[in-house]
Structure formats: structure tokens, C-alpha cells
Structure 1
Amino acid sequence: MRPVNQKRNMATAEEYDAKDLAVLEGLDAVRKRPGMYIGTTDSQGLMHCLWEIIDNSVDEALAGFCDRIVVTLHTDGSITVADNGRGIPVDKEPKTGLSGVEVVMTKLHAGAKFGNSSYTAVGGLHGVGSSVVNALSSRLDVEVDRNGRTYRMEFHQGHPGVYEDADPDHPSPESKFVKTRKRRPTELREVGTVPSGTTGTRIRYWLDPEIFNSTAVFSYDQLIDRVRQTSFLVPGLHIVVVDESVPETGDASVDDLQETDDQQGLDDRRDADDPQHAAGPGHARVEEFLHTGGVVDFVDFLSKGDPVCDIWHIHGDDTYQEETQAVDENGDLHARMVERDCGVDIALRWTNDYETTIRSFVNVVSTPGGGTHVDGFLTALTRQVRKTVEANARRLKVNLKDSSTRIERDDVMTGLVAVVTVRIAEPQFQGQTKDVLGTAQVKPIVAKLTDRMFGELITGSKRGYKEQSSRVLEKIVGEMHARIQARKTKEVTRRKNALESASMPSKLSDCMPGNDDVAELFIVEGDSALGTAKAARNSGFQALLPIRGKILNVQKASVSQMLANKECGAIIQVVGAGSGATFDLSQARYNKIIMMTDADVDGAHIRILLLTLFYRYMRPLIEAGHVYAAVPPLHRIALTGKRRGEYIYTYSDDELASQLDRLRRERIGFDEDIQRYKGLGEMDADQLADTTMDPRTRMLRRIRMEDAEQASGIFSLLMGDEVPPRKAFIVKNADDFDRSKIDT
């Protein structure tokens, strides 16, 4: 062992003195460690910079000083964000002697959001947004309209100076840049005049390729989603997105776009191909957003599936005490207790879907990780539902003596669509990316308000809500029973126990185990077709499950009704992966689910009913591409003469006519008595195998999500509870009626 007091011989290599300490001043620290401020330097960080600039303009709207924001995507990759707010202050900041513009753009943790006078509820909290974007940009230009004048400043990688652009109309970060000397205050340049009372800020920036990696890609769809979301959260704020990269169309410029104060927000996305909405040269794609209904409109936009109830609105405010650091008149920070206002605005509804959609926000900042506001909302929601179910246990057929029949949060959240927002000053987030709200005092305020207002709604004590609350409670109780049933049957849904399990439907003709990666389940219409299919299948990997006629219309049925239906229950049980929120794709016993029905109107009806079942309760099967429709032929043409014994199958009347014309032209003989299949049972086993079941010769139609969504929508219209939309559809399409399409 080396002695403790042994002298080192490498002292020069291990010297550690003050000269070895690196001091990064100003924005250099941001460029050295950008991940500390924007999370990553990939696409996520790229978009985060844009959010920081947009949020500053939105904060002006929240404060009541801005009602219009224009985001322009330039062809050179730069982005401009313009607003008609108060404009960044242009006078001197007393402590630094710099203009307000330079302080905001170059000093970390500087801005009006640390005080209590200019902003009470903001999205940009930490005072680093603009300065961080400036530091990470190869160039940033800012223009401010105030006092009847337009002021301008330019920056290169966060440092102030002046660009000498050869063409001022086409600025570039490659232009010559003259940097302002250190310790010399930079004066704002007056570059023009504006009408008295006109104010606003315009920031254009080019993100630095030296900072962001090569995989960073700007997402237009993310921008549109974020802008739309903001327009919901700030009613009356008009936001315009201009994309110059789309080819030129139209004859109006973006400046000619007029605000539509009476717009209700339903037509929030305008198509560039519509000449009424097209913008002028260089501004072909213009999308405008303006909503006045707030979170209620937001929930309506997010809702998918048929609504179980109207949109319920919970809103109010309260106060709480919080200790915070405040700056005194000497510029020193001291802790003191302050009273905060907390505004709560929540909208929610249940649909017959099984997915949960909850969007949460603090001010206008999205909190995808939730936080104390969401915890308070869900805690009170679950508590009130439990109390109401227990009070109505007999009507809802809930056995309170059974300890397993207890409403859980997952039951309440199934099919729930909600937007939860709070507005507070200086919220505490977890990290600069602001994913989770941490302000503890918000939870009891949201919970208390939800307890009171939601309690009145779910108990039906508020006028006009009794019927709605009954439907909501029935849905939640149905989800509870479905969860309990799924837990009880989970083990028997696995393939290794399938053949031994007595609970598998006796009518299932299963395939041999061990072929999970190629196993196919044919859902067959009728017993007669089942007999033929048994002889036609390859039992090594093809299973058969017959259904008797049309299954339950799950569009109108509750979860408990669906599970109680023999046909629906058998399909879910045989697939073996559960249903609804508990569906686990990895547990599915078959690689392909194939709907094999007759090629007629009844067969199409059955396919839609089956497809609605899969879409509502086993959607991941469709999303992963595991659901198919068999394509059996409609006709068989028997050839004669030298080609006797050969057959041609056709799948539509048009194809039949085309084939007959071809045979006549080519003088190929055929039996004039064309066989038309009324059902799968009319085929013999060889014909069914060749045309519909044998993977080497058959044709399948894969069901896509858009197919399922369209079928669900049409089925909801034609078979749902709402009569007026169905009547309007029939009247509108009466002229398109084609008698030849009816199977007679």
C-alpha cells in the first residue's frame, strides 16, 4: 500500500489555481450549456425557442394590451413574431444605464415579470426567454413601435451591434456585422415613425446552426397546434400564421388581412386553396385563429366520439398566501408573505370513447406532466363521483357490500375530455421547460371549487342536469364493471391456456398453438359459411369464430351492455387482449383479424357493426394494421371449350361486364349461366379457399384508422340517438339514391 505522506511527482500536471477557473459572462453561459435553458438542441429545443418569443406576446394579451399576433415563417428559415402590445420599453433602465430593449434581450433574469405591477399572470416566467433565444441565434432583429416612432436593434449571437445588409429588404446573418464595443451602451436607432398611439414589438431571428444539431427540424404542425391552443385559452386574441415557403397565390398582402371580431372560432383554420382566404405574393399559406368561447370551445374541439353529456363548466377564483422574494427600494431581495389570486377555469365532458384527453395549463403554458392543479381536479372529481354512485347504488345496480365494486380514478377518466387551466402570478414549475406545476397552494383551491360546482352537476341538483348526470354515472359504472371483468378474465385470455380453458366459446374452431406470429382469426357470418370454411381453412394457423347475424350496435350501447352481449363478449374473449382502456395489444392471440362476410348489403352492414366494435373497444388492433376485411367474389364465370374446368371470379358488376366483353372479343367460350354468390355458404371448400382464405391466392382489404373513423362517424349518424342529423342527411342525399345498389 502506498504511504499516505508519499510526495507526488506530477505536481505540474495536477496544479489547480484560480487561473484555471473559467468565468462565462452574460449570454456566453447560455451558448456553452444551451440544454440548461431549452432542454435539448434538437427539434424540441428548436420549437421551444419559438414558444418563448410567442409567449412574450401572449403575456401582453393576458395583461389586456394585445389582441393580435402575427407569426411569419420566412423562406430563409428565419421567423418573425409581431404583436400590437405596448412594445418593449425603450427608455433607460436606471441600474444598468442600458435601454429597456437591450436589457430584455441581453440580460438573463431581467424583465417586468419579476415585479407585481406590469404582469399578474404570465407564461414567460423566468425572464430568460428573449435573451436565451437571442444568445442561440446567429442573428436577431428587434423593432419596437412606441411614442410615435419605430426603434430598432440588431444582435449577433447575443451581442449588440449593427448589420450592414446589402439589401435591407432581405436581411441575412451572413451580412457584415459591426459589434458594439464592450462597456459602451448601445443606443437604439430611430428608423421611422408610426401614427400616435400605435405600439408593438417585432422580433425576427435566425437560430444558430452552430448550436442546434443536424437532426433539428421545425414542425409546422406543432406550431399550428400551439397557436390554436393559445387562441382557445385567450379568448378574443387573433393569431395569424403566415408561411412564405408555399408558392405564391392570391392578390392580397398579409397587411390587408382584416380582423373579424364577430368570428366565433368554428372556422379557425383557413385553407390556402380557398380564394377568399388566400394571401398575396409570398404569403400563400395563411391560417388565422380567433375564438371567443375559451375552454368550452377547446373541449368541443378535442372531443371525439358521441357525447354522453354537454360540456360542463367549472370556474371561479380564490386567494392563497405564499412566501416570495421581493426587491426592496435598495435593490435587495427579502422574503415576505404575499397574497396571491388564483383563477380557475375548467371545462369537461364525457364521450362514449374509452380514451382520456386532459389538457392542462398554467396561464397559457401547457403542463403535459400535469401538476397540482390537475391533481386537485381529479381528486375532487373522483370523490364526488364515488359519493353520488354510493347514494344511487340501487338504481345503478352497484353492490356496495362487494369491496371490489369501488369506483377508481381510471373509471372516471375513461372517455373524459377536459381542459384544466389556472391563472396565478409567479407559478412554480419543475424546470425551465415548465412541464409540471409545483405550486402546492393551487391543489386545495381547485379541489374545493370542483367539489362544489361539479357536485351540483353530477348529483343533478342543478336545473337541467339530472338526465345528463344519470348518463355519466351509468357510463362510469359500466367502465368499473368492465375493469373488474377484464381483471377476472385476464389469465384465461392467454394462448397457452386457450385450449384448456372452459371459458372459451365452444363455437370457436381454434388453430394449432405456437403460430402466434402468423395466426389468423376469421369472423364468419353464419353457420352455413362456417361449415365450408372449416373444410377450406388451414387449421395450422387459421381459426374460425362464427357470429349469428348482426351483432350489437355498440355505438348506442353502454359498456356493460356490450360486455353482456354474447357475440361481442365472444369476440373480445377470443381475441384475448381485453377491451377499452385495458386493451393490451401484446396479448392479442392472432396476428390478423379477418371479417369474412357475404358480399351483399347485409354483409356490409355486419362489417360496419364489427368495425365499430373494434374501433370503440379494440382500437390498437386497427392502429397497428391487424384488422382486415375478406374480399369474396360476387360471380364465377365457367369457361368452356379448350379451357373447360377453368373459372374466372369477379368482384363487382362492372368487373363482370368487363370480363364478359373481353371473353367475347377474344372468342373464349364461357357458360352463359353466370353463377352469382348470394353468400359464402354457396361456395364449395376449394372455391372459398382459392378466392378468400388461401394466402397465396386470396385478396384482403386492410382496415386503416381513417376507414374506421369514417365508418364510425357514418354509423353514428345513421344508427345513433340523434334523429335531426340523420333526417338532414337523408334529405340532402335523396337525389343520389340508386335503386341498382339495393340487393334484391
Structure 2
Amino acid sequence: MSDYSAKDIQALEGREAVRKRPSMYIANTSSEGLHQLVTELVDNSIDEAIAGYCKEIEVIIHSDNSVTVSDDARGIPVDMHESGRPALEVIMTELHSGGKFDGRNSIGYKVAGGLHGVGLTVVNFLSEWFEVEVRKNGNIYRQRYEYGNPVTELKIVGKTNSTGTTHHFLPDKTIFESIEFSFDTLSNRLRELAFLNKGIKISLIDERTMKDRVFHYEGGIVSFVQLLNQNKNVLHDTPIYIQKERENVQVEVALQFTDDYSEQVFSYANNINTHNGGTHLTGFRSALTRVFNDYARSRNLLKGADSSLQGDDIREGLTAVVSVKVPEPQFGGQTKDKLGNREVQGIVESIVNDELSTYLEENPTVAKNIVQKSILAAQAREAARKARELTRRKGALEDSGLPETLADCSEKSPENSEIFLVEGISAGGLAKQARDRRFQAILPLRGKFTNIEKVDKMRLDKVLANETIRTLITALGTGIGQDDFDIEKLRYGKVIIMADADVDGAHIRTLILAFFYRQMPELIQKGHLYVAQPPLYRAYKGRKERYINSEEEMNKYLIELAFENISVTNVKHERPYTDLQTHSIIENMYALEEQLMRLRRRGIDADRLFRDWFVDKINTPLYRIKINGNEYYRFEGEQSEVIEQYEEELAKEELEIEENNVDDAPEQLDMLDGRDSECSEIEKEPQIIVEEISDLPELKEIRSILERFAKREIMPEDLFDYKGEKEIWEEDEEL
């Protein structure tokens, strides 16, 4: 028996604890946790916005997958902390440090999402490097961290009249499965925040693809609900809006009913998406059920229906956003996906009960339409139950036998098995030949698949009459519908839709997805449903074929083909390269060209920059000029031309407006500044910022590529002709 004593006990603290067990502080080390790094920083800026100190937030995804989050708030404190270090350094390196604990009301944080004091610190600890810039007290302060440790002192690097904080970080590749940020994921979250904080402007820029979005909504969550319902038939034109504060808890609700069958309710606490709901959502649902039942009974509208309507019947077709601001929120861990404050349930329930009751009394036509739709939903639910019972009595959904077309696997544990839903019998035969019968089952789907979106919810018997659907239900074993579905009976851990990679296949895939969405939504919510992704290319060489999944993989494959049986020699050193070295050189050439293209997309003269900085070593300073959010890049001596040109164009436009005596001149002047019309309240004075730059992600990557070239005795000048006028990317056998 091995010894187990005090020497075996480790006490991890701070940085080591976070890096050793990151999932204790963020959701995970996959995509969800990676994107949480950004939202942790943005949430801090949002807390400043709630306090009234932040109007604009900018998020930039750089070409190297580093991210910048910048705001115009008060700026993180930089004065000396009682510990003898700058307050910024304490916040960056000490868990549970921040200004959102006791006494936060005195500095404006009446409510806040980041009450654990670990968000910014954890992002720093999980980053390869982290640079923070604070604009405060008329100065620009900057400090750099690597793997969570400060590597420079906090120093003043310039002067400014603005305030705010800019974070620039690169996630640690050794911790995360991938550091590839998704523009869509961040876009959805930032749009949510803009809806939840009406008036704030949030910008997202992706320098990898040059995509950008600006989110600014004066309507707040009402605009959110309208966006969600833009393609639906609504029962009342304007969403019902409730906003009240009680016992220091701010409650904001927007709801609108449609003729749809599904419920869409999003809940938030202190701007944080509580995916798993919580007491605020429970209070809202309870009030909704009570108010509509009371109204229906008082108007004798429940004749022919049950004595009361169920909550699910009332919420059918409902789109709602429930947002609360709580001084002392109790979240479920650092992921904050559920609110636990018991007092919030009663507050939300009371406010929604009072305000919604008043609305129904004042809008009887809308109220009657909603109640009648709820009654129809109750009748449909009962009809569906009877249809299932009838079908079950006939034995169509019994577990006594599996479908004849199912090629089952030998593995009986759902966690270790998967089923492929294959389009057609012939494709099913090919899939059976390619599968691993130990854990992969194949179910060919033959016949026409019912479009469940076109079937009346009361006619579930029509759905169950479809042989293909009955076969699918029987194979999975879960049953269908809200009353009969049981996820515990699922026979396979993964359900994979594998349709043809053509228009017909896409149509069939959509029909199957619609069925799961309507009748087995928990399969999607619990992560059991997958869609097989076909390869992008099939390449032939002789009798051999190869499937290729991406453009990047295709380029690498073409390079391999191009350099088969080719000898490459460095003429200057009269030394041939090995095949591996040749492949590395060509890959680096492609990588260099990609970075130069990204510089060109910024509007930078990339050829001149490369020659100036890396060939001739002149290092002419490069400047970034920001004018009202627009960026321009110019070399030293040229930056004033951009400002002068802008001022000339602005003066010309103003003169034209005066000459034409346009009535709405103020609005046109706003447009001259490149601002969204919704942002007209933002100060009209042009904001011009000129700063020297040498740390663009593209430039860092170019330096890294040139270091790799140097190991092969290839210098920057070898990549250009002697006149320095153009790059040499010629397909020559000698370099």
C-alpha cells in the first residue's frame, strides 16, 4: 500500500490554480470557454455602462486571433494600492480583487454582473500575453503580462483627453483546444448586450475577414422582441413592455404573442444570459399563468376547455425577454447560467402580475385573442395525447420490436453508440459497408418525410401516420411530444443526420431538423443531435482519391503535388533543400503573402512597408489615424494629409447644406461624421486620434515568418528583386 501523507498535499493558489484547473473558473477549454474570455471583459465595460460611465465598446478580432476590447469608461484605477502595487496590477494578478464588493455603491456600481472579482484576472492567467492600456488622469498608462505575470512596469506612454480601458490579449494555445474565435458567436452576444442596454454602441470588427457590425438600439429589449418576431405573424403589433423597480431590484420585461407553436423566452440577470433560467424566470412564468387564467375566468372564456389553462398552453407562440438587475445576485458558479435569489421570484411575479393585468384590462381585444389561442393550444395538446395513445394501442410505437431497416450496433450503452440517419436505401447500404458495427447503427430513411411545419398541431395523427417518422421514433426509443418524450430512453448517444450534399439533401435535412425541433427539442438542447458535414473537395491522382475538408487543406495538398520530384536549391549558398525543407519554405511563402494581403486590406502599402522595414531597415514610422471610428494608415509625413482631406470634405458638405437651406441640416451633419442615425446624441465634435504603431498582429506574424526563413538562409531581400519594386513569387525551381 502506497504512503499518503502531508507531503502529497498541494495547495494551489492564484495563477497556478487557474491554469491547472481552468474549468473551475470558465465554462471549459473548448469554444464556449474561449469566447467567455471576451465576454468577461465586455461585461466589465457593460457594468460601467450601467453605472452611467460608458457609451461605446469596441471589440476587434485580429488576424492572429488575439482580441482587443476597448471602452470609453472611467478607466481601471492606476494609483497605488495599499499592498504597495498599482491597483491595476492587483486587479490583473489577484483573484477576487475589484471594485464590486462592499462599498461599491459609492463608486457607481449599484448593480453589476462581475461580483466574483475573477473575470479579468482569469483572462490574464489564461493568456499567452495580455497588454492593458488605461486612459486616465490625462495620461495613457500601459503594462504587459505574459502567462499572467507582469513583464513590464506600469508606465505612462502618452497624453490624452479621453478616458477608458483597452485590453489586448492572446489566449494560451496550450490551454484551449483552439483559439479560433467565431465572429457569429461574439456577434450574437454583443447584440444581446446592446439590446439589454439601450443607447449603448457596441462595435465588432474581424480583421481576418474584414467583417464588421455595429449594434445600437434605442428601443432596448422591445427591439429585441421585434427582431425575433420579424418573420412571424404577431397577435398584437406592439410588444407589451414592463419596467419597474421594487426593493432595489430592477425588472424589465418585453413580450409579444405570435401564431407560432414554439416558445421563445430569454432571461438575463445583470446583463448575463441565464441559459438555465432561475428565480426571475420562474416568477415571470407563474405570473403569466395566473394573470391569463384570472382574466379568462372573469370573462367566461374557458367554456369547453379545462377549468384552467396550463402554462405551456399560454406560452405557446410567446416571445419574451426577461431582464433583472439585482444588487447581490447569486449565480450558479462563474458561468452564471442560473439566478438563485429567492426574493427575486416574488418581486418579478408581483410586478408582472400588476402590470400585465392592467394591460389586459386596457386591451381586451388583444387579451381575448391570446386566451383563445391558448384554448386552441390546450385542445391541440389533448388531441395529440389521444393520437399517441391510439397509435400506441395499435403497437406502432411500442419497444417490442425495432424497425426492419435498422442495422443496429452491438454496443448497448447509449454513451458509446451512435446512429446515422441516411437518405435512401441505396445510401444506407453503402453506409452499412463503411460503418464500425460495434458502435455505429445505420437507419435508412425511405419514403417522403412529413413537413411538420405544415401540419396542424391538433393533427398529430397525420404525423404518426408517416411510416418514415414512425420508424425513426421507434429506433430512437424516446417517444415524442412534451408529455411522452423521455430522454433517458434514448438508445444512442449521438443521432447523426447524413443527407446528400445537394439541394435535395439540404431539403431533407431541414425537414428532419424541423421534426426534432418540434417534437424532440431536448435532443438538440442536450447536444445529442449532429449533422454530418460532407468534404469540400474530392481530389484524384491516378487511381487514388482523397477527400479534402477546407481551402487551407486543399492549398497544402496542391503544394505537395507541385513539389513532388522537384529539387530546390538555394543558389546563393549552393545548397539543395530536402523535401521537408522545401515544403516548409513554400508554406511560409503562402503565410507571408496572406499577412501582406491583410495589411493591404487595412489600406496599408504592404510592399513599401516590407521593403522599408525588413529589406532596407529604414523603419519609417507608421501611423494609425482614427477619425470618428474610421481608421487610416499612413507613413510619417503623410498623416496630416488624411486629416486635411477629411476637414475639406466636411467643410464642403456643410457649405452645400447651407447653400441649399436644407431643413434637416443637423441630421445630415450627423451623417457626415459617419455615425449611425441612432447615434445622433453622441457629441458632434470630430474625434481624431493619431498614434504610431509597430505592434500590429500582421507585423508580429511577418517577423515570425522571416525568422523561420532565416533558419533556411533566406533573407528578406531574397524575396524581392534587386530594384525592390515587386515581390518574387515566381514559380521557379530555384530560390
Q: Scaled by the length of structure 2, what TM-score is found? A: 0.56
Q: Aligned match of 2:240 in 312, 322, 325?
A: 312
Which residue of structure 2 aligns with residue 353 of structure 1?
Answer: 260
Using the TM superposition, give the Cα deviation of residue 160 of structure 1 relative to its aligned residue in structure 2, in angstroms: 0.8
The 3-state SS of whatever aligns with 2:105 is: coil
Distance 1:554 1:466 in 2: 30
Alignment partner, residue 295 of structure 2: 388
TM-superposition CA deviations, 1:608-634 (whole Å, max 9, x none): xx99x99997799xx9999xxxxxxxx
Q: Which residue does the alignment assign to 1:109?
A: 96
Counterparts in 2 of 1:244 and 1:350: CA distance versus 1, 3 Å? same
Equivalent in 199, 205, 208 of residue 236 of structure 1: 199
Pairing of 1:603-614 with structure 2 (within 5 A): none
1:154 aligned to 2:144?
A: yes
Distance 1:24 1:582 in 2: 48
Structure 1 counterpart SS, 2:187: helix
Question: Is 1:221 the equivalent of 2:184?
Answer: yes
How far apart, in 2, do the equivalents of 1:614 and 1:26 lie? 48
1:192 aligns with 2:98: no
| Matched residue, 1:175 | none
Separation in structure 2 between the aligned mates of residue 126 and residue 616 of structure 1, nearest angstrom = 36
Aligned counterpart, 2:175: 211
Q: Note the alpha carbon deviations across 1:286-327, whole angstroms, 9 max, x for none.
A: 2111001111111111225211224111221110xxxxxxxx
Cα separation, 2, equivalents of 1:492 and 1:72: 57
For the pair 1:477 / 2:375, whether they are aligned, the reply is yes
- Counterpart residue number, 2:271: 364
Cα distance in 2, alignment partners of residues 38 and 345 from structure 1: 28
8 A Cα contact 2:280 2:344, kept in partner:
yes
Amino acid at match of 2:14: G
Structure 1 segment 86-125 matched on structure 2, within 5 A: 86-93=74-81, 95-114=82-101, 115-118=104-107, 119-125=109-115
**Pairwise CA RMSD:** 4.2
> Following TM superposition, by how much is the alpha carbon of 1:221 offset from its aligned partner in structure 2, in angstroms?
1.3
Q: Deviations over 1:132-160 (max 9, x none)?
A: 11111110000001111100011111111
Query: Is 1:129 matched with 2:92?
Result: no
Q: Deviations over 1:244-280 (max 9, x none)?
A: 112xxxxxxxxxxxxxxxxxxxxxxxxxxxxxxxxxx
Contact 1:42 1:217 in 2 (8 A): no
Shift of the alpha carbon at 1:579?
9.4
Judged with a 3 Å threshold, the aligned counterparts in structure 2 of structure 1 residues 71 and 139 are, in CA distance, closer, same or farther, namely: same
- Gaps spanning 5+ residues in structure 2: where? 408-420, 423-444, 474-478, 490-510, 532-735
Which residue in the other structure is 2:3 paired with? 14
Match of 2:36 in 1: 48
Measured in 1, the distance between the counterparts of 2:132 and 2:346 equals 42
Name the counterpart of 2:548.
Answer: none
Rounded Cα–Cα distance in structure 1 between residues aligned with 2:297 and 2:515 = 32
Q: Deviations over 1:175-227 (max 9, x none)?
A: xxxxxxxxxxx5x20101112xx101000001111222x35643221100000
Cα distance 1:554–1:456, how it changes in 2: closer, same or farther (>3 A)? farther
Paired letter, 1:385: F
| 1:16–1:360 Cα change, 3 Å | same
Relative distance call for 1:516 and 1:86 in structure 2 (3 A) is same
Kept in 1, the 8 Å contact 2:236–2:256? The answer is yes
Other-structure match for 1:289: 215
Letter in structure 1 aligned against 2:369: R
Tell me the distance in 2 between the aligned counterparts of 1:16 and 1:144: 47
Matches within 5 A, 1:538-617: 563=458, 571-572=462-463, 574-575=465-466
Match of 1:704 in 2: none
For 1:448 and 1:409, the matched residues in 2 are separated by 17
Residue of structure 2 equivalent to 1:461: 361
Q: Show the counterpart of 2:226.
A: 300
Q: SS of the counterpart of 1:486?
A: helix
Change in Cα spacing, 1:616 to 1:204, as seen in structure 2 (3 Å) is closer
| Alpha-carbon distance between aligned partners in 2 of 1:113 and 1:571, rounded to the nearest angstrom | 57
One-letter code aligned to 1:245: R
Given candidates 401, 417, 421, the residue that maps to 2:319 is: 417
Partner deviation per Cα, 1:380-402 (whole Å, 9 max, x = no partner): 11111222222333x453355xx
Shift in Å, 1:543: 8.9
Q: 1:240 to 1:571 in 2, by over 3 A?
A: same
Check conservation: 2:43, 2:114, Cα contact below 8 A: yes
Richer in helix (by share): 2
- Greater C-alpha radius of gyration: 1
Q: 1:420 & 1:355 partners in 2: Cα distance?
A: 17
Q: Is the 8 A contact 1:55 1:123 kept in 2?
A: yes
Instruction: Please state how far the C-alpha of 1:28 moved relative to its aligned partner.
Output: 2.0
* TM-aligned CA distance change 1:159 to 1:571, over 3 Å: same
Alignment partners' CA distance in 2, 1:287 and 1:307? 28
Alignment correspondent of 2:584: none
Distance in 2 of aligned mates of 1:365 and 1:584: 30
Q: What CA distance in whole angstroms lies between the structure 2 residues aligned with 1:26 and 1:37?
A: 11
Paired AA for residue 129 in structure 1 = G
Tell me the residue number matched to 1:26: 14
Q: Percent identity?
A: 38
**Which residue in the other structure is 1:604 paired with?**
none
Kindly state the Cα deviation for residue 379 of structure 1 after the two structures are TM-superposed.
Answer: 0.7
Q: Which residue of 1 aligns with 2:59?
A: 71
Query: Do the aligned partners of residues 208 and 406 (structure 1) sit closer, same or farther apart at CA in structure 2, a change above 3 Å counting?
Result: same
**Closer, same or farther in 2 for the Cα pair 1:444/1:224, shift >3 Å?**
same
Q: 1:625 to 1:105 in 2, by over 3 A?
A: closer
Secondary structure at the residue paired with 2:334? coil
Contact 2:305 2:375 in 1 (8 A): no
Residues paired across the two proteins, number: 458
User: Residue 353 of structure 2 corresponds to which residue in structure 1?
Assistant: 451
**C-alpha displacement of 1:353:** 1.1
- Tell me the distance in 1 between the aligned counterparts of 2:15 and 2:385: 56
Q: What code does the residue aligned with 2:168 have?
A: R
Distance 1:469 1:100, change over 3 A: same
Contact kept, 8 Å, 1:145 with 1:201, in 2: the verdict is: yes
Indicate if the aligned counterparts of 1:143 and 1:201 stay in contact, CA closer than 8 A: yes
CA distance in 2, matches of 1:146, 1:407: 58
Distance 1:580 1:461 in 2: 34
1:397 aligns with 2:397: no
Report SS of the residue matched to 1:121. coil
CA distance in 2, matches of 1:132, 1:616: 36
CA distance in 1, matches of 2:124, 2:341: 29
Distance across 1 between alignment mates of 2:233 and 2:318: 12
Which residues of structure 1 form unaligned runs of 5+? 1-9, 163-185, 247-283, 320-340, 501-512, 521-540, 546-550, 588-609, 627-744
Deviation of 1:59 (Å): 1.1
CA distance 1:441–1:618, shift in 2 (3 Å): closer
2:403 and 2:328 map into 1 onto residues whose CA distance is 59
Partners of 1:89 and 1:79 in 2: how far apart? 22
Mapped to 2, the partners of 1:24 and 1:147 lie a distance apart of: 37
Secondary structure of 1:35 counterpart: helix
Amino acid at match of 1:309: H
Q: CA deviation at 1:16?
A: 2.4
Q: 1:428 to 1:347 in 2, by over 3 A?
A: same
In the alignment, the residues of structure 2 paired with residue 499 and residue 43 of structure 1 have an alpha-carbon distance, to the nearest angstrom, of 38
Distance 1:130 1:514, change over 3 A: closer
State how far apart, in whole Å, the 2-side matches of 1:47 and 1:87 are.
23
Q: Report whether the alignment pairs 1:85 with 2:85.
A: no
